[in-house]
Amino acid sequence: MKKLRKTTPGKRKKDRKSAEEEIKRKVALFAQHPTDCCVCKSPFERNKETVKSWRVVVREERVRLTCPDCWSTIQEGLERVQDD
């Protein structure tokens, strides 16, 4: 009889565990975010509005916090680069 699965249960379990560890690592980094914008250095005041509008980017071991004004400037620059 031919097997229907291409992966073994052990491999799926190992992949799931490594994904969970990666999420835990990123959440820990996320909790250590900076207290000001990485571009314009405006202070981050934690309230409902700022939490919803500011952007946090976690790449490898770097955590960057960006205010809405700088984020829109970054997005416009990326669009110009893609159009060229």
pLDDT at 1 over 60: no
Write down how long the chain is: 84
From CA 35, how far away is CA 65, in angstroms rounded? Answer: 8
Taking only the tens place, the pLDDT of each residue in 40-84 is 988 888 888 888 888 888 777 788 889 999 988 888 888 888 876
Residue 2 is predicted with a pLDDT of 61
Query: Residue 20: pLDDT band by 50, 70, 90 thresholds?
Result: very high
pLDDT at 6 over 70: no
Instruction: Tell me the β-bridge partners of 66.
Output: 55
